[in-house]
Amino acid sequence: MDAQFNQHIVDFSSSADPASINVPAGAYVVLAKTGLYNISGSTQTTECQLQQGAGNGNVLDVIDVTLTSAQTAAISLMASTNVTASGGERLALHCICVGCGGNTRSFFSHLAAIQVGTLSVP
């Protein structure tokens, strides 16, 4: 299992990657969680994504959270994916403050990629 546990606070006004890991080729179940805190004086929406690949990679899962001033929320994401690149790929928890110049804080972020033998669709 590959994992990153980020105990640090990440403040962002547009976007940030609170956690990311590089994994070798294989099949994975990917889990992520983070806390979000709106530190602005107005209501704003934050979108968090599980991404695969460099830059703005392929979106594996997504959640939108609208927070009023000083409100917090805990979010979780989960997906399965096949990493086929011979050199492996980057998996990331990527968060975006949607349409705000605001200030969002992520804290206690966790990202885990559990390698499995195969993935099957029921």
Question: Quick check: is 60 in a domain?
Answer: yes
Which pTM value belongs to this model?
0.89
Q: What is the dihedral of CA 114, 19, 55, 80, to 10 degrees?
A: 20
Predicted local confidence at residue 89, as pLDDT: 95
DSSP 69: T
Which pLDDT value is given to residue 102? 63
**104 lies in some domain:** yes
- Report the pLDDT value the prediction gives residue 78, as an integer from 0 to 100: 97
Whichever domain contains 22, its CATH number is 2.60.120.1310
Tokens of 38: 């709106």
Number of domains in the chain: 1
- Asked if residue 18 belongs to a domain, the reply is yes
Domain that holds residue 86: 2-116
Question: In the predicted model, what is the mean pLDDT of residues 106-117?
Answer: 93
Q: Residue 121 falls within a domain, yes or no?
A: no
Mean pLDDT of the chain: 88
**E strand segments, 24-101:** 26-38, 44-52, 58-67, 72-83, 89-98
122 within a domain of the structure (yes/no): no
**How confident is the model over 17-63, as pLDDT tens digits?**
999 999 999 999 999 999 999 988 888 899 999 999 987 789 999 99
